[in-house]
Structure 1
């Protein structure tokens, strides 16, 4: 059972007690991601994520890593377009110590100028690494095409130009504006004790900062294209279409639709492009849902000589599906696959912690697994076809091809 309590300062603690587990997963979720940044701030949220691991007033970066190694635990973090998460997983009897270290990182990061400059270089290398992997870079280019005038289309890592302007003072100012109690959720799952919850409330329930209301501008989807030529063996293609938000009542309908298109090994794209035609090793689709919108994307990687054929097959398959090609059996199979994935996720404290934290942060509510299964069962062929008709129109296109190649 998932329970939520709100501290006096507005911070929320969401917990799921699983007594038969011997581990505890914990995460500090901040409702702040790259889409909260101004153009000149692009990448600052991700920079903060890195700096919180670089030492506090009482622990060096090496000591933070060593403390988790000593207790056989894991600690990490990630930045998304809408939120940031700092998380750890440890044996239950080490949980209070682990959350103490997380709180120390969260509240007492030193922002040492020397470490600051080192980490700037580390992130520049991370950006270069992404650019060196065209199967990752093509997705970044797609977001720029889909949302050229909105911060959600900007890269999470930022750019060399924006990173060069960050200072410890700018970081602290940004954190003061965005790392606030009402913007923060602490999620724990596993063999939780009352003492652990009290510890979390003591560590996180007292800090006070003035709240800054969120002012998201609804992204307007753009059907454009991008071509990038670089030294690469394969060509890489992404097609993007509008999707649905997390709160949309059709969210499970589009999840089923995605499974049918390219979200599984039995999907139309995988079977036709890889199994039947041998055009690609990697071919798939995915749906990304956010608080106010979503995106349905398709990716394929193939030789430059086969790029045009692969793109044409993808578009033909989508047209076939729109013309009544989806079957009742495909919908039924996709629903069962979705339910299986959900239930298998229950076996991981990390998955439960993450799910609960995101739902509290972005939705402010929690559904029981039975309620979710009921909603999945209500998905119908008619609803899936209706969504297909609405969403699959002119796509945004991103292509990375070997140098000297031209646009498909």
Structure 2
């Protein structure tokens, strides 16, 4: 494989060899269902995912929290299987099954031995196509989700993260919490979740990805059979749903400074700027910048904040990207009295990188860290399955390890410095949770707009 391989929505069949001699095959059924597999030589297990390209950002007023609510309900039983039957099916073969709701997609997945593929396909298909959405279970699960949100609210790092997204993204749907809020969950109606289910769980929305010990033809036959038994009309033509626009969204800052008072021993501090889209060609440069700046124990943040000054135990940077927006953030957990000093130090380090660039040694370490981490991650079929899903739903192209390393080698120190310069030119947002004074960050925000 040389270069990235595009995944056109109107191409029925695609097959190619990727790094490590894995075989990637992709089929688009006439009904719009997309099935993508990666056969990994020597594997004895596999990970399978059922994806729909709908996440928390897609919810309309009156439906906030429906995506996460629905994720819970699909485990509660179908006409063929009770919730216990679903759990027993995987437990009895030593498998794992779960789901994740994200801002731009939802995925139901399982990890099993190769001999249990048929079972995994049958159960996941049944869950996704034929959930009862029982009204009694709906009310039971409302309580479960409220407990989940309460648990997250007791975690100051989770609270800081939610406030940080709100601060950077403002009114953009990406700024909303994935799981909804206690109010939206209390107000969610059975009818709204049913509408969400019917509108987004259709053949043209479904993407099935499998990585590991998988035969593509066997997989396609199993999925087709299971969907037909579930009552889906696979003979009716439908084009797969289009991918999201990659045009940058207009982002208006939600808040410069958000402080959530909590009587805690530590302050959880997040600060940062708008970042890059998932499809931006500079994503590889962002990976290098993030590695050098806050991606490991040799990073600038770790060395300056923790090793040299002892101001924090946990300190790092991160850079999530979405279809039309992204952000770059810095995190530290520190004594409340030192929060202002830590924030000032983290910001000054990023400015120093933007003004003076990075060294050849830092570039070499970042390249080694990223290439090694990428190779090690691909030892896990979960990672490969997720890569297939993101390739199909978000990027529209498949990038294997060799191509990723080729792109990494093209990044220069000047590229990293320019990206840092672009980041610090954006609006700075701070979100912090803890026993903090109102003027804790006065040195870098003398006249903040508080929320």
TM-score norm. by structure 1 comes to 0.95
The question of whether the paired residues in 1 share the 8 Å contact of 2:65 and 2:184 is answered with yes
Structure 1 SS opposite 2:87: helix
**Aligned: 1:198 with 2:221:** yes
| Residue in structure 1 matched with residue 398 of structure 2 by the alignment | 366
| Residue in structure 2 matched with residue 37 of structure 1 by the alignment | 59
Q: 1:322 aligns with which of 332, 354, 372?
A: 354
The question of whether the paired residues in 2 share the 8 Å contact of 1:263 and 1:284 is answered with yes
CA RMSD of aligned residues (A): 1.9
The question of whether the paired residues in 1 share the 8 Å contact of 2:25 and 2:38 is answered with yes
CA distance in 2, matches of 1:72, 1:16: 22
**Aligned: 1:167 with 2:186:** no
C-alpha spacing 1:325/1:248, structure 2 compared with 1 (3 Å): closer
CA distance in 2, matches of 1:402, 1:266: 30
- Equivalences for residues 70-81 of structure 1 within 5 A: 70-81=92-103
CA distance in 1, matches of 2:130, 2:199: 16
| Residue in structure 1 matched with residue 431 of structure 2 by the alignment | 398
| Residue in structure 1 matched with residue 374 of structure 2 by the alignment | 342
CA distance in 2, matches of 1:212, 1:96: 26
C-alpha spacing 1:375/1:54, structure 2 compared with 1 (3 Å): same
| Residue in structure 1 matched with residue 18 of structure 2 by the alignment | none
**Aligned: 1:218 with 2:218:** no
How far is 1:52 from its partner?
A: 0.4
| Residue in structure 1 matched with residue 270 of structure 2 by the alignment | 238
CA distance in 1, matches of 2:243, 2:353: 39
Unaligned runs of 5+ in 2: 1-22, 442-451
Structure 2 SS opposite 1:75: strand
**Mean alpha-carbon deviation: is it higher for 254-263 or for 224-233?**
224-233
CA distance in 2, matches of 1:68, 1:212: 31
| Residue in structure 2 matched with residue 111 of structure 1 by the alignment | 133
TM-score norm. by structure 2 comes to 0.86
CA distance in 2, matches of 1:184, 1:94: 21
The question of whether the paired residues in 2 share the 8 Å contact of 1:184 and 1:361 is answered with no
| Residue in structure 1 matched with residue 10 of structure 2 by the alignment | none
CA distance in 2, matches of 1:221, 1:244: 15
Q: 2:203 aligns with which of 174, 181, 194?
A: 181
Structure 1 SS opposite 2:433: strand
User: Number of aligned pairs?
Assistant: 408
**Aligned: 1:379 with 2:411:** yes
CA distance in 2, matches of 1:212, 1:75: 26
**Mean alpha-carbon deviation: is it higher for 198-207 or for 298-307?**
198-207
CA distance in 2, matches of 1:272, 1:212: 47
Deviation digits for residues 234-293 of structure 1 (CA, Å, limit 9, x no counterpart): 111101212111211111001100111111111100011011111001101011011122
**Aligned: 1:296 with 2:328:** yes
How far is 1:55 from its partner?
A: 0.9
CA distance in 2, matches of 1:406, 1:231: 17
CA distance in 1, matches of 2:296, 2:205: 35
